[in-house]
C-alpha cells in the first residue's frame, strides 16, 4: 500500500529524532510491502528563518493532502525575543487548530527494564504502569480570547458542549478496549467550564455502560498520579490540565524521551510527535533519545493507517532494543554504555520482524 506522509522535522533535536523514526518506518515498509512517500515541510523556528513565518501556508496545504503528519519539535532560545504570535511554538497551535486535531492521546507506559528510572517507590509501580491521557487539544484557555493592556492581561477559558462531547467519546472508546475505566479531571468546584465539562462527560458515559467513570479535581489528580498511579486507566481532561498532567505522568515512567503522542481529528487523521521539546542544548550531538518519536510512528500506523501488525512490530522492536541494553544518556544507569541517537535507531530498525 502507498501512504503520503507529511514530515515536519522542526528545530533543535527534531531533525535527528525524525530521521531515526523514518529509518524504522522504511524498514517496516520493506518487511510488510508498504510504500511511504515523505514530503518534508517547514514549521517553527527554521520556518521563521527561511520564510519569515512560523507556519507557512504551503506547509498547511501539504499536511491537509497527506495521510498523516510526523512532527519533531519546535522552538528554542534563539526565537525567545519574538512576540507571542510570532514564536515557533505558535506553529504547533496553528497546526492543531487548522487540521482540527482536537484529541491528544498520550500513553504513559513504563518498560519493565527501565523501572529503576522511575522516581517513585518501587511498590507504587509494581507490575508496571500503563496509563493513557486523553487531552482536549483545540479549546480552553490556550485558544480563548486574550489581550494585554498596560498592566492588565486576560485569557479566556471557553468550552462548548460539543467540544467536550467529542473528546469524551474518544476517551470512552479507548477505555472500552483497555480496562474500562475513565477518570475525568476538572476543577468543577471553581470553574464554570469545568461544571459544564463534568455534566457533559456524565451524559456521554451513559452510552458506555461497561465503562466506570470517576471524577477528580485537577489538584487531587496531580497528587494521585504520584501517590497511587496504578489506579488510573484512561484520564480525560481539558487542554491546560492535560498539558500539565501528561508531562507529570511522563516523568513517573522514568524519562520524557520515551513517550509518544497522537493528535487526532475526524476520520482518524493525525499528527504524531514525541511529547518532549526541541532540547537545543543537545542538538546535533547525537545525545537525543529517538524512542518517543519511533513509538509515535507506531501510533500513526495503529490509529490513522490501521496497520496494527506493523505497529506492534515497532513496539516489540523497541522493547527488544531495551532488553538488549541499548541506552541513550537519559535512560542509562551509571555503569551502562551510552549509545548515540543514530545507533539507537539502527538497533530498533534491525529488530523489526
Note the pLDDT tens digit of each residue in 160-205: 999 999 999 999 999 999 999 999 999 999 999 999 999 999 999 9
Q: Of 11, 13, 12, 22, which is closest to residue 272 (Cα–Cα)?
A: 22
The CA-CA-CA angle for residues 16, 20, 21, to 5°, reads 115
* Active-site residue (options: 4, 214, 247, 319): 247
- Mark whether 142 is an active-site residue: yes
b/e string for 40-55 if b means 16 or more Cβ within 10 A? ebbbbbbbbeeeebbb
- Pairing relation of β-strands 146-149 and 152-155? antiparallel
Q: Is the dihedral of CA 209, 222, 288, 316 positive or negative?
A: negative
CATH architecture of 119-252: 3-Layer(aba) Sandwich (3.40)
Spell out the domain ranges in the chain: 1-103+269-353, 119-252
Question: Residue for cell digits 477518570?
Answer: 183
Considering the candidates 219, 230, 266, 309, report the single residue annotated as catalytic: 219
Looking up cell 520515551, which residue turns up?
A: 258
Q: Which one of 11, 186, 233, 243 is the catalytic residue?
A: 243
Which one-letter DSSP state was computed for residue 255? Answer: -
Q: 3-state SS of the chain: helix, strand, coil percent to 5?
A: 50, 20, 30
**Reported pTM:** 0.89
Is 309 designated active site? no
User: Measured between alpha carbons, how far is 125 from 289 in angstroms, rounded to an integer?
Assistant: 23
- The Cα 290–Cα 292 span in angstroms is 6
pLDDT score of 117 more than 80: no
Any bridge partners for residue 134, and if so which?
105, 236
List, for residues 220-237, the tens digit of each pLDDT value. 999 999 999 999 999 999
Q: Please give the DSSP secondary-structure letter assigned to residue 206.
A: T
Range with lowest mean pLDDT among 44-58, 124-138, 182-196, 246-260: 246-260
Q: What percent of the chain shows pLDDT beyond 90? A: 83
Task: Write out the three cell numbers for 315.
Answer: 513496539
Q: Which of 9, 90, 187, 287 is catalytic?
A: 187
Q: Which of 245, 264, 273 is nearest to 44 (CA)?
A: 273
**CB 269 within 8 Å of CB 68:** yes
**pLDDT tens per residue, range 266-279:** 888 999 999 899 99
Q: Name the active-site residue from 9, 27, 102, 142.
A: 142
Confidence of residue 118 (pLDDT cuts 50, 70, 90): confident
Mean pLDDT in the chain? 94
| pLDDT at residue 247 in the model | 87
Distances (CA, A) of 274 to 51, 122, 242, 300, 326: 25, 26, 15, 12, 19
**What region does 140 belong to: left with phi over 0, alpha with psi -120 to 50, or beta?**
left
- State the cell numbers at 100: 482540527
DSSP 222: H
In DSSP terms, which residues pair with 342 in a beta bridge?
none
Reported as a single tens digit per residue, the pLDDT across 299-327 is 999 999 999 999 999 999 999 999 999 99
- The DSSP bridge partners found for residue 235 are 133, 183
Domain 1-103+269-353 CATH assignment equals 3.40.630.40: no
Instruction: Give the pLDDT of residue 334.
Output: 66
Q: Answer yes or no: 206 catalytic.
A: no
Amino acid at each position: 500500500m502507498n501512504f503520503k506522509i507529511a514530515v515536519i522535522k522542526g528545530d533543535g533535536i527534531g531533525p535527528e529524532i525524525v530521521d531515526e523514526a523514518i529509518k524504522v518506518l522504511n524498514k517496516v515498509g520493506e518487511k510488510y510491502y508498504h510504500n511511504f512517500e515523505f514530503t518534508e515541510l517547514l514549521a517553527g523556528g527554521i520556518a521563521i528563518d527561511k520564510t519569515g513565518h512560523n507556519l507557512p501556508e504551503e506547509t498547511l496545504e501539504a499536511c491537509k493532502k497527506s495521510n498523516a503528519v510526523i512532527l519533531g519539535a519546535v522552538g528554542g532560545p534563539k526565537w525567545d525575543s519574538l512576540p507571542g504570535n510570532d514564536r515557533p511554538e505558535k506553529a504547533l497551535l496553528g497546526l492543531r487548530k487548522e487540521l482540527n486535531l482536537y484529541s491528544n492521546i498520550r500513553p504513559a507506559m513504563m518498560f519493565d527494564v527501565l523501572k529503576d528510572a522511575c522516581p517513585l517507590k518501587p511498590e507504587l509501580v509494581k507490575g508496571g504502569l500503563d496509563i493513557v491521557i486523553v487531552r482536549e487539544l483545540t479549546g480552553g484557555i490556550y485558544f480563548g480570547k486574550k489581550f494585554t493592556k498596560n498592566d492588565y492581561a486576560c485569557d479566556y477559558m471557553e468550552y462548548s458542549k460539543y467540544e467536550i462531547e467529542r473528546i469524551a467519546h474518544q476517551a470512552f472508546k479507548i477505555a472500552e478496549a483497555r480496562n474500562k475505566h475513565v477518570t475525568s479531571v476538572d476543577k468543577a468546584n471553581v470553574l464554570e467550564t469545568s461544571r459544564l465539562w463534568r455534566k457533559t462527560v456524565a451524559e456521554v458515559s451513559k452510552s458506555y455502560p461497561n465503562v466506570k467513570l470517576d471524577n477528580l479535581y485537577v489538584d487531587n489528580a496531580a497528587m494521585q498520579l504520584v501517590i497511587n498511579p496504578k489506579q488510573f486507566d484512561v484520564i480525560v481532561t481539558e487542554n491546560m490540565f492535560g498539558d500539565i498532567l501528561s508531562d507529570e505522568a511522563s516523568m513517573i515512567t522514568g524519562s520524557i524521551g520515551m513517550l509518544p503522542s497522537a493528535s487526532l481529528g475526524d476520520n482518524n487523521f493525525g499528527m504524531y510527535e514525541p511529547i518532549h521539546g526541541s532540547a537545543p542544548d543537545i542538538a546535533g550531538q547525537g545525545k537525543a533519545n529517538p524512542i518517543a518519536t519511533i513509538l509515535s510512528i507506531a501510533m500513526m500506523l495503529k490509529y490513522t493507517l490501521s496497520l496494527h501488525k506493523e505497529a506492534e512490530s515497532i513496539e516489540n522492536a523497541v522493547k527488544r532494543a531495551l532488553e538488549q541494553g541499548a541506552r541513550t544518556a537519559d535512560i542509562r544507569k551509571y555503569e551502562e554504555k551510552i549509545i548515540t541517537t543514530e545507533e539507537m535507531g539502527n538497533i530498533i530498525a534491525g529488530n523489526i520482524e
